[in-house]
Structure 1
Amino acid sequence: MSPVTEQWEDVLRTHFALGEELPAVRAAAVFSADSGFFAVAGCDGEDGRRYFRPAADDPAGGLPHAEAVDRAALEALWVAGEENGPAPLVRLGGATWRRESLDQVTDAVTGNDLDLVLLREGDRSMWVVRTRQGLCIFALAHGDNEGHVAEARSFALEFDSFLVGQGY
């Protein structure tokens, strides 16, 4: 593991350690097109990697060149598409996530526009924020509590602001 990866995982773990007893975010990750998932953490010391593992690492087999397929699927999340067309899908951690919403928000710190996607898989929810620097922040909500879903959204946006403050 690179020192940069260890640093970001420490930052994510610290965010979890400062949270309440039952955190709103179960796991979080940072993704870049250059490095893939380079920082992942789970709440209460849980290994968050299992939620973000690309299909190539899937014990069920996965597809050849699955990492490239995942990146293409991830890129498809940001395309508005037709209203009547099927929602884009992305496969993470052995689950197929469907885009429920796509919004553009303005970062409160920088004023930059950010893409914000809500993904759903059954009763699970995950927010993904894409920055103009090509980074994506993932925040998996803990359980199906809509309050946790809203807090996970805030976590993803706050962590984006933190990364911007660090020069990313």
Structure 2
Amino acid sequence: MSPATEQWEEVLRSRFALGEGPPAVRAAAAFSAESGFFAAAGREGEDGHRHFHAPTGPEGRPPGTATPEPPYLAELEALWTDGEESGRTLRLAETAWHRESLERITDAVTGTDLDLVLLRDGARSMWAVRTRRGICVFALVDGDTAAHSDEARSLTLDFDSFLVGQGY
């Protein structure tokens, strides 16, 4: 594991530890188009990576693809495009996440333009935010309450601001 990956995983773990009681967010991860998911953490020490891996074939790449580029890149890119909400899905850890909404916002701290997506799988939700530099942050919520969803949205935007502030 690279020192940068260890650093970001520690930042995510620390963010989980700061809240009171168990956090609503089950797991969070940082992603880059160049390296795929490079940091993940789960609440209460859980391995967050298991919630974000993409399906791969025996050659370490997505089934039916010829190159070892990070899997699900096309699906991920489709999440950020305008248009019909239905049909926009992202498959992570054998779960098909369906896009429910897409917002374009400006980060109040950094002034960076962001794409913010709400994904759903039944009673679970996940927020994903992407900067214009190709860095994405994901926050997975187990339950589907407004308070949990708001906490996940806040964590996603806070961590994204942190990454942007660090030059990513």
Percent identity, please: 63
SS of residue matched to 1:97 = strand
Structure 1, residues 11-47: CA drift from partner, whole Å, max 9, x if none? 1001011112120211000000101000000000001
User: Match for residue 125 of structure 2?
Assistant: 125
User: Match for residue 75 of structure 1?
Assistant: 77
Q: Give the letter for the 2:76 counterpart.
A: L
Structure 1, residues 54-98: CA drift from partner, whole Å, max 9, x if none? 11179xxx6243865511000000111246xx3301100110000
User: Match for residue 94 of structure 1?
Assistant: 94
TM-score by length of 2: 0.90
Q: Give the letter for the 1:74 counterpart.
A: L
Distance 1:162 1:112 in 2: 12
Tell me, yes or no, if structure 1 residue 136 matches structure 2 residue 136. yes
User: Match for residue 162 of structure 1?
Assistant: 162
> Contact 1:140–1:152 (CA<8 Å) still a contact in 2?
yes
> Contact 2:141–2:149 (CA<8 Å) still a contact in 1?
yes
Tell me, yes or no, if structure 1 residue 15 matches structure 2 residue 12. no
Distance 1:127 1:87 in 2: 17
Distance 1:69 1:12, change over 3 A: closer
Distance 1:9 1:44, change over 3 A: same
SS of residue matched to 2:8 = helix
Distance 1:136 1:57, change over 3 A: farther
Q: Give the letter for the 1:19 counterpart.
A: G
> Contact 1:95–1:121 (CA<8 Å) still a contact in 2?
yes
Distance 2:89 2:71 in 1: 11
Structure 1 alignment gaps of length 5 or more: none
How well do the aligned residues superpose, as a CA RMSD in angstroms? Answer: 1.8
Structure 1, residues 102-132: CA drift from partner, whole Å, max 9, x if none? 0001101122210000000111000000001
Q: Give the letter for the 1:52 counterpart.
A: F
TM-score by length of 1: 0.90
Distance 2:55 2:148 in 1: 27
Distance 1:105 1:28 in 2: 20
Aligned length: 163
Question: Structure 1 segments of 4 or more deviating over 6 A?
Answer: none
> Contact 2:12–2:28 (CA<8 Å) still a contact in 1?
yes
Distance 1:23 1:57 in 2: 34
